[in-house]
Amino acid sequence: MVALIGANGAGKTTVLRAISGLQRPRRGKIIYKDNDISDMEAHRLVKLGISHSPEGRQIFSRLTVLENLLIGAFIKNKQSNIKGDIDYIYSLFPVLKDREKLPAGALSGGEQQMLSIGRSLMSSPKLLLLDEPSLGLAPLLVEKIFEVIQTLKKIISLFCWWNKMPIKPWR
Ligand SMILES: Nc1ncnc2c1ncn2[C@@H]1O[C@H](COP(=O)(O)OP(=O)(O)OP(=O)(O)O)[C@@H](O)[C@H]1O
Ligand SMILES: [Mg+2]
Expressed in angstroms and rounded, the spacing between residue 108 Cα and the centre of ligand 2 is: 21
Which residues are near ligand 1 (CB < 6 Å)? 6, 8-14, 55
Strands 35-36 and 31-32: antiparallel
Q: Where are the domains of the chain?
A: 12-162
Expressed in angstroms and rounded, the spacing between residue 60 Cα and the centre of ligand 2 is: 20
Residue nearest atom 27 in ligand 1 by C-alpha distance: 8
99 Cβ neighbours under 8 A, 6+ residues apart: 65, 106, 107, 111
In a mutational test of the pocket of ligand 1, which residue from 5, 12, 22 has the highest number of ligand atoms less than 8 Å from its CB? 12
CA proximity to 156, closest of 1, 4, 46:
1
* pLDDT digits (tens), the chain, 171 positions: 899 999 999 999 999 999 999 999 999 999 998 999 999 999 999 999 999 999 988 999 999 999 999 999 998 887 788 999 999 999 989 999 999 999 999 999 889 999 999 999 999 898 999 999 988 888 888 998 899 899 888 877 776 677 665 544 433
CA proximity to 38, closest of 14, 59, 21:
21
Expressed in angstroms and rounded, the spacing between residue 72 Cα and the centre of ligand 2 is: 22
> What does the pLDDT read at residue 164?
63
Encode 9-19: b = buried (16+ Cβ within 10 Å), e = exposed: eeebbebbbbb
Q: Which amino acid is at 155?
A: I
Expressed in angstroms and rounded, the spacing between residue 4 Cα and the centre of ligand 2 is: 10
Does CATH number 3.30.420.40 belong to domain 12-162? no
Residue nearest atom 17 in ligand 1 by C-alpha distance: 13
Residue nearest atom 11 in ligand 1 by C-alpha distance: 9
CA proximity to 114, closest of 147, 84, 153, 154:
147
